Structure 1
């Protein structure tokens, strides 16, 4: 993936089992890592405002 010429946003919850490897991969590749509280499921069910805003910005929304 490092050779991609499109925007890449990695996303992981701090309690996800693979969070440490996602963080390391982000640092190695320079891809942005969006980190949220909880694990993957809890984040999808109760997404915090900061995560909503960043996802909207990344997807081209107007979330300020």
Structure 2
């Protein structure tokens, strides 16, 4: 294997790492946007209906527990 082949191989590996890192950063940005939307929805729901976020979470947990029993 010549020196040029080794350099080419290293460059390709670095390019793949950079692409993966870029994709991961885009995904983490989406996650935070989803979290922001969820939090905004929960605050709006709490203001309009008076139901708190903790109550909704406990309802979900109880629902999941009921499903597991059956």
**TM-score, normalized by length of structure 2?**
0.21
> Looking at both structures, which has the greater relative contact order when contacts are Cα pairs under 8 Å and sequence separation is at least 6?
1
Computing the radius of gyration over CA atoms, which structure comes out larger, 1 or 2?
A: 2
**TM-score, normalized by length of structure 1?**
0.22
> Greater strand share, 1 or 2?
1
